[in-house]
């Protein structure tokens, strides 16, 4: 009903939806149902959706109209000063653990990688801090996850139930450097919000090498010197405002948050599409 109404509007028919965008509060795959018995809905495949830019917390990397935006975190600043004070706080934080992992294993999944990382962390307890999120331990507003990220130099970020994970943004807002094992967890997702050079703010480790024992997460991370770590952390801290959604009743004064970045990106995309030969 909504799409039919939109298609009848003169603003929509003027450009057949090319200058429209839609915010969708879940991952792209929840809107791509091909059969009635599949999970989610078939919204993206319906008439009228073809040319609309879609803002989602996880995009399909092969769909031009999907744009990945950061997962909302628990920090919604009220002013520029809130952001600057937080950046200073995480910059000067004393970090006792080399790395950490917060998550739960998937017992029903064969060769579960998250379970492997939990075991690895427990075996390296002098360097790694673990938060086992089995059951509902991590869904009740507990501060232990934030404290763990604040106390760690690196944070391990495997994929979640899908390729992305809110924890990636929780980790970076705490000033920790994310360690990724799937490129689609961040590098192919948040082009407008993350640095173009992945190595400037994160570490990528081949998960298959970890699985077969030819690579040790701890040994990889121990190769990074203090100067390199400082540069990477500073890059993460520089980008923190792009991950935040400010309080809507006040917003920020001069700093652009994730909402501003998304709107600027959408408007820039519309200008690109006005170029001759751009649309198909």
Q: What is the DSSP secondary-structure string of 104-146?
A: ---TTSTT-HHHHHHHHHHHTTTTEEEEE--TTTTSS--SHHH
Task: Supply the pLDDT for residue 141.
Answer: 61
CA distance 158 to 75: 23
CA distance 140 to 237: 27
Task: Select from 131, 144, 74 the least CA-distant residue to 100.
Answer: 131
Task: Supply the pLDDT for residue 136.
Answer: 60
CA distance 278 to 192: 20
Q: What angle do CA 36, 39, 41 make, to 5 degrees?
A: 65
Task: Supply the pLDDT for residue 140.
Answer: 64
**H/E segment holding residue 97:** strand 97-103
Mean residue pLDDT of the chain comes to 92
Q: Which residues pair with 157 in a beta bridge?
A: 180
Among left, alpha and beta (phi > 0; psi -120 to 50; other), residue 16 is: left
**H/E segment holding residue 173:** helix 167-173
Q: What's the pLDDT tens digit per position in 119-156?
A: 999 999 999 999 988 766 676 667 889 999 999 999 99
Longest CA span, the chain: 64
Task: Supply the pLDDT for residue 191.
Answer: 96
- For residue 147, how many C-alpha atoms fall within 13 Å in the half-sphere facing its CB? 7
Each residue's pLDDT, cut to its tens digit, for the chain (280 residues) gives 989 999 999 999 999 999 999 999 899 999 998 887 788 899 999 988 999 999 999 999 999 999 999 999 989 999 999 999 999 999 999 999 999 999 888 777 777 899 999 999 999 999 999 998 876 667 666 788 999 999 999 999 999 889 999 999 999 999 999 999 999 999 999 999 999 999 999 999 999 999 999 999 999 999 999 999 999 999 999 999 999 999 877 679 999 999 999 999 999 999 999 998 888 7
């Amino acid at each position: 009903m909504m799409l039919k109404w939109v298609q009848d509007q003169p603003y929509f028919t003027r450009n057949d939806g090319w200058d429209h965008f839609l915010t969708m509060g879940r991952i792209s795959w929840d809107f791509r149902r091909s059969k009635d018995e599949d999970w989610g809905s078939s919204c993206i495949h319906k008439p009228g959706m073809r040319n609309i830019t879609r803002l989602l917390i996880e995009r399909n990397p092969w769909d031009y109209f999907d744009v990945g935006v950061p997962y909302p975190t628990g920090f919604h600043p009220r002013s520029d000063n809130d952001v600057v004070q937080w950046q200073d706080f995480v910059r000067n934080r004393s970090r006792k653990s080399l790395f950490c992992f917060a998550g739960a294993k998937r017992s029903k999944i064969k060769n579960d990688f998250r379970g492997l990382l939990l075991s690895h962390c427990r075996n390296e307890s002098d360097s790694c801090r673990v938060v086992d999120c089995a059951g509902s331990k991590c869904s009740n507003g507990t501060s232990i996850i934030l404290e763990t990220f604040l106390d760690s130099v690196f944070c391990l970020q495997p994929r979640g139930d899908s390729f992305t994970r809110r924890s990636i943004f929780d980790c970076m807002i705490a000033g920790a450097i994310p360690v990724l094992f799937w490129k689609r967890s961040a590098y192919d997702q948040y082009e407008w919000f993350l640095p173009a050079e992945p190595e400037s703010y994160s570490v990528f480790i081949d998960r298959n090498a970890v699985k077969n024992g030819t690579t040790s997460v701890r040994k990889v991370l121990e190769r990074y010197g203090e100067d390199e770590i400082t540069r990477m952390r500073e890059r993460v801290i520089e980008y923190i405002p792009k991950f935040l959604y400010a309080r809507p009743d006040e917003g920020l004064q001069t700093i652009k948050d994730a909402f501003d970045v998304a709107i600027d990106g959408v408007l820039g995309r519309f200008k690109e599409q006005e170029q001759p030969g751009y649309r198909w």
